Structure 1
Amino acid sequence: MCPFHIHKNKKIIASYVAAVLCMASVGVFAATEHWNDASLTPQVMTRTSISDQTDWQQWKDNWDKVKTDYEQVSMAPGADATRMNFGWYSKERADKAEVRISTDKNMSHAKTFKGISKEGTVISGVTYYTNKVEIKDLKPETTYWYQVKVNGKWQASQPIKTGNPNDFTFMYVGDPQIGASAGQTPSEGAAAQDGEIAARNDSYNWNKTLNTALTQHPEINFLVSPGDQINEPAGDQKADKIQLQEYQYAGYLSAAALRSLPEATSIGNHDSLTSGYQNHFNVPNPFTEEANPTKAGHGYYYTYGNALFIVINANNYNAADHQTLIEKAINAHPDTKWRIVVMHQDIYGSGLDHSDSDGILLRTQLTPIYDANKIDVVLQGHDHTYARTYQLSSDGKNHADFDTFKVKGQSGQAHNLLSAALKNKDFKNNYVSQNLCYTIADMQQGVLRNPKGVFYMSSNSATGSKFYNLIPQQQDYIAARSQTWRPTYSVVRITGDTFTINTYDVATGSPIDESYSIVKN
């Protein structure tokens, strides 16, 4: 492997460029042999008991039912903390999709909200309809019960507790990517897993991660995912690929915790090539003005208390779209103290596969946009490694925008989008040097008070369906990184003046890094 390190000292740019070109010459990287084998759960997880093996057997016995349960409900944060969004499939199309809510489990005095029902997709020859409803007027720190009407019948009531907008916590996970363990060989079998068995394995681990995290941190109010909920892109629209994709969505949504946990998801590159994502998830304030959307849908924004969350569709490489969305969200909510961007591709990560190829394609364009709009935090995925940066700022200079790649969405979901162009020496030299577009604004650790710059975070896999290696030598913008080959999740707490993030090993509940806090007063 070629050593690699980023420096801003122009005297050593030549050696930096040579290092990156050496790295690029290695070729396309891939997932490692490390993954989280569900059949080994009792052996690899420390907080387990004999019941884990029973749970795994029950999961396998139930899988045929789980994988075809396409009509499971997804729940998302609404436009603000007083609202919540619901989405689900149904075999029957209703005149109006319906959800009702009450403070009583028996649904007395329930209030009914109506939305839309329209044709969604065809699975195994059956047409499924997509249904979306927004509920309003929720009060903080209150337990509600809701029911969703599916195929003309009210489903069992489910509880949901609203948080305190002035002091709330969310769970941040990386790339669940249900089905990505395809090709790995489980301990209980001699053959490599096919796509369906991989979906079964990864869905089980997704359930375990959510259940464990909520047991360890019951204060969590909602979930944030930077994308790649599933693995099968199904871009060719072949029936068997669409069916496998829907197996994976069914496995992802099967997690019992999601019945009471709203999820703010993003479009990952594996989600981006079909309408499956936007059929399943009902996001608030969708940015339908996006000039170069993907088939999966659009970016969006929402507020929770004093925080503005802006979720961009980074599979669209036209940064002008993202700038417009960010400015629109801020104009709608100019006085929120915290501005948080969520995106899939990591423009500042440390994984071997993406952090210096397709991951940084938008770096030269987005870095100054984030600075100009006073973004505080950017939460990223894609790299299947853990990394957090120092506080970073744009260097204030003009840089190439790689106009050639401003195409309609990502050109296929493959990770080696730049591989053809990077074979050209002149392009590689320019690409590498132009991405020296940042400065390190603050290197302090622990608790930072009114720091300059933007904090970037990349999350590892929350399921262990796929892991990547770290880049051989740590970049200078990275404050901390790790690859433990174990699923992790982060817990973010936001109060009136403090943003704090901690990241934990799923199995042990132990922190994998020190706490990082930003105080604004």
Structure 2
Amino acid sequence: MLLKSKKRLTAYVVAALCVASTGFAATEHWNDASTTPTTVVATQAGDANWEQWKSSWKDIQDDYEQVSLAPGKDATQMNLAWYSKDKAKAAEVRISTNEDMSHARSFLGTSKTGTVIDDTQYYTNKVSVKDLKPDTTYYYQVKIDGQWRDAQSFKTGNPDNFTFMYVGDPQIGASKGQTSSEGNKQDGELATRNDAYNWNKTLNSALSQHPEINFLVSPGDQINEPAEDQSAAKIKLQEQQYAGYLSAKALRSLPEATSIGNHDSMTTGYQNHFNVPNPFTEEANPTKAGHGYYYTYGNALFIVINANNYNAADHEALIKKAIKANPNTKWRIVVMHQDIYGSGLDHSDSDGILMRTQLTPIYDANKIDVVLQGHDHTYARTYQLSSDGQQHATFDEYRVKGQQGQSHGILNEALKDSTKKEAYESQNRCYTIADMQQGTLHNPKGVFYMSSNSATGSKFYELIPQQQDYIAARSQNWRPTYSVVHITKDTFSIDTYDAETGTPIDQTYSIVKD
């Protein structure tokens, strides 16, 4: 039986709209790396302590030539990307099942003009490695500036039974303006140092507790500096934040399927650093950062949309293209930055809600199972939700060609008009609660939505004052979290953990397709 939402204007909407109408709300909540104890788990995983981190930071922050791994088009492929000072005729990677790199296979890719940092031209290099076998350890080397770097390794998973780590908004550098216990009011560089340290700790703790993790999924905002003014200083800070993000040793072996967040969206830095499979270049309103994309892993289809583009027709076209290319996958998972069903005070009922009326029926029509979101820096999961089947406004007057600036609440001016505010509130009650069961659900109707909290503690937001009727569970304990998703032939399950202690913060939520 479908349980249709009957709530009208309630305290949570009033509170959210008051925030939205007065501007973007700041936060005082963050994690100070200088006071965070180094856990036994993190230490055993190779995490440097804070003093060691500070002494090595100068080398880390200027190391722009770090390699990123990403899932390829399917589980038999792996994508790599990196910066170099030299432009190669072709980017080159070699791969072997032997640690001494004997019997290595070579793969060639592209080398193109990238970013200028401190008057130095860098090039962006991308290669796809193919014909990988499941459950196999591979060693790889990347040629950078004419030299082969030290061999690193990764292990492929079992496509029929795999696990990925889902994190929210690392946003390296977002603790800018906060004052640390050491008495420093953090500028962009100090904030980047703080948040990159905590990013390393979260990854190390997660992988120590859950070595079965095969790859990472991030719904965006890898870095904080949008660099929209394109000044040399801003671009350098942005690249230092990418350097801090990519510095995590875990990422040498952990492929990462990233999304474009609003902080990533305004420059080409994102698409220069990450080699995404099947980019949706047909996107009519892309951002400078690039496009949505899709890939498969076993019987799961992952569709990553560029939600900074408010033209939902682009996202519908990407979803249909991905499904047409992979019609028989059992699980369909969308990853996006802006949360259309979240519970954070800053975004869940302002800019995040803007695309709710457009995307909800698209997800229903294309039988999407799960939507993984970020942006709100709080933890929330929904009941199974469906469209209410009614026609709703598309808010065409607010569509922009990508996110404009960092003023998230683009409806602020409109919400000062009581008539427009009432219409907005009414239109965005466009959903139906299709199933309120908890724990393990068998063949449920509707779509499951998750919003992830910050994985670094660089910035946290308050929860909206009154829990929305579509939210099944939520929390904000001002500590970094991460989720572990396990997919088999018939089951999707998700658990979320406190990054410092490794303890669950919520019960397991599972969907079984019999």
TM range (shorter): over 0.9
2:259 to 258, 263, 266: 266
Output the CA distance in 2 between the equivalents of 1:274 and 1:25: 26
The match for 1:511 is 504
The match for 2:225 is 232
The match for 1:34 is 29
Question: More displaced, 127-136 or 411-420?
Answer: 411-420
The match for 1:466 is 459
Q: Does residue 8 in structure 1 map to residue 20 in structure 2?
A: no
Give the TM-score taking structure 2 as reference length: 0.97
- CA separation of 1:434/1:198 partners in 2, compared to 1, >3 Å: closer, same or farther? same
Question: In 2, are the aligned partners of 1:173 and 1:224 still within 8 Å (CA)?
Answer: yes
Question: In 1, are the aligned partners of 2:46 and 2:204 still within 8 Å (CA)?
Answer: no
Q: Does residue 105 in structure 1 map to residue 99 in structure 2?
A: yes
The match for 1:157 is 151
The match for 1:360 is 353
The match for 2:436 is 443
1:48 is displaced (CA, Å) by 7.0
1:63 to 57, 63, 75: 57
Number of matched residues? 512
Where 2:303 maps in the other structure, the secondary structure is: strand
Aligned residues: CA RMSD: 1.9
Q: Does residue 395 in structure 1 map to residue 388 in structure 2?
A: yes
The match for 1:176 is 170
Question: In 2, are the aligned partners of 1:21 and 1:428 still within 8 Å (CA)?
Answer: no
Q: Supply the AA of the counterpart residue of 1:268.
A: G
Where 1:489 maps in the other structure, the secondary structure is: strand
- CA separation of 1:84/1:465 partners in 2, compared to 1, >3 Å: closer, same or farther? same
Query: What do residues 47-82 of structure 1 show as CA deviations (whole Å, max 9, x unaligned)?
Result: 677999972111100111000000000000000000
Question: In 2, are the aligned partners of 1:87 and 1:282 still within 8 Å (CA)?
Answer: yes
1:410 is displaced (CA, Å) by 1.1
Query: What do residues 356-410 of structure 1 show as CA deviations (whole Å, max 9, x unaligned)?
Result: 0001110000000000000000000000000000000000000000001222111
Output the CA distance in 1 between the equivalents of 2:201 and 2:340: 30
Where 2:8 maps in the other structure, the secondary structure is: helix
Output the CA distance in 1 between the equivalents of 2:363 and 2:302: 13
- CA separation of 1:152/1:51 partners in 2, compared to 1, >3 Å: closer, same or farther? closer
Matches within 5 A, 1:344-383: 344-383=337-376
Q: Supply the AA of the counterpart residue of 1:379.
A: L
What fraction of aligned residue pairs are identical, expressed as a percent?
A: 74
Where 1:41 maps in the other structure, the secondary structure is: coil
1:18 is displaced (CA, Å) by 7.4
Output the CA distance in 2 between the equivalents of 1:309 and 1:373: 13
The match for 2:285 is 292
Output the CA distance in 2 between the equivalents of 1:33 and 1:7: 37
2:513 to 506, 515, 520: 520
Q: Does residue 120 in structure 1 map to residue 114 in structure 2?
A: yes
Question: In 1, are the aligned partners of 2:484 and 2:495 still within 8 Å (CA)?
Answer: yes
Q: Supply the AA of the counterpart residue of 1:33.
A: E
Output the CA distance in 1 between the equivalents of 2:159 and 2:48: 39
The unaligned stretches of length 5 or more in structure 1 are: 1-5
1:421 is displaced (CA, Å) by 1.8
Output the CA distance in 2 between the equivalents of 1:53 and 1:140: 29
- CA separation of 1:150/1:291 partners in 2, compared to 1, >3 Å: closer, same or farther? same
1:30 is displaced (CA, Å) by 2.8
Q: Does residue 196 in structure 1 map to residue 208 in structure 2?
A: no
Question: In 2, are the aligned partners of 1:312 and 1:343 still within 8 Å (CA)?
Answer: yes
Query: What do residues 72-117 of structure 1 show as CA deviations (whole Å, max 9, x unaligned)?
Result: 0000000000000000000000000001100001111100000000
- CA separation of 1:443/1:202 partners in 2, compared to 1, >3 Å: closer, same or farther? same
Output the CA distance in 2 between the equivalents of 1:139 and 1:366: 36
Question: In 1, are the aligned partners of 2:168 and 2:455 still within 8 Å (CA)?
Answer: yes
Question: In 1, are the aligned partners of 2:124 and 2:272 still within 8 Å (CA)?
Answer: yes
Question: In 2, are the aligned partners of 1:384 and 1:461 still within 8 Å (CA)?
Answer: yes
Q: Does residue 338 in structure 1 map to residue 331 in structure 2?
A: yes
Output the CA distance in 2 between the equivalents of 1:126 and 1:292: 31
Q: Does residue 413 in structure 1 map to residue 410 in structure 2?
A: no
Give the TM-score taking structure 1 as reference length: 0.95
Question: In 2, are the aligned partners of 1:7 and 1:13 still within 8 Å (CA)?
Answer: no
Question: In 2, are the aligned partners of 1:319 and 1:365 still within 8 Å (CA)?
Answer: yes
Query: What do residues 125-170 of structure 1 show as CA deviations (whole Å, max 9, x unaligned)?
Result: 1100000000100000000000001001110000110000000000
Question: In 1, are the aligned partners of 2:497 and 2:504 still within 8 Å (CA)?
Answer: yes
Q: Does residue 141 in structure 1 map to residue 154 in structure 2?
A: no
Matches within 5 A, 1:459-498: 459-498=452-491
Q: Supply the AA of the counterpart residue of 1:128.
A: Y
Output the CA distance in 2 between the equivalents of 1:59 and 1:65: 10
Output the CA distance in 2 between the equivalents of 1:48 and 1:258: 15
Output the CA distance in 1 between the equivalents of 2:470 and 2:13: 19
Output the CA distance in 2 between the equivalents of 1:47 and 1:423: 50
Question: In 2, are the aligned partners of 1:68 and 1:250 still within 8 Å (CA)?
Answer: yes
Query: What do residues 261-314 of structure 1 show as CA deviations (whole Å, max 9, x unaligned)?
Result: 000000000000000000000000000000000000000000000000000000
Output the CA distance in 2 between the equivalents of 1:85 and 1:22: 42
Q: Does residue 91 in structure 1 map to residue 74 in structure 2?
A: no
The match for 1:301 is 294
The match for 2:445 is 452
The match for 1:23 is 18
The unaligned stretches of length 5 or more in structure 2 are: none
Moved over 4 A (4+): 14-18, 45-54
Q: Supply the AA of the counterpart residue of 2:94.
A: R
Output the CA distance in 2 between the equivalents of 1:317 and 1:444: 32
Output the CA distance in 1 between the equivalents of 2:146 and 2:402: 37
Output the CA distance in 1 between the equivalents of 2:370 and 2:107: 34
Where 2:319 maps in the other structure, the secondary structure is: helix
1:22 is displaced (CA, Å) by 5.7
Question: In 2, are the aligned partners of 1:227 and 1:268 still within 8 Å (CA)?
Answer: yes
Q: Supply the AA of the counterpart residue of 1:340.
A: I
- CA separation of 1:21/1:76 partners in 2, compared to 1, >3 Å: closer, same or farther? closer
Question: In 2, are the aligned partners of 1:286 and 1:300 still within 8 Å (CA)?
Answer: yes
Where 1:186 maps in the other structure, the secondary structure is: coil
- CA separation of 1:54/1:380 partners in 2, compared to 1, >3 Å: closer, same or farther? closer
Q: Does residue 423 in structure 1 map to residue 416 in structure 2?
A: yes
Where 2:95 maps in the other structure, the secondary structure is: strand
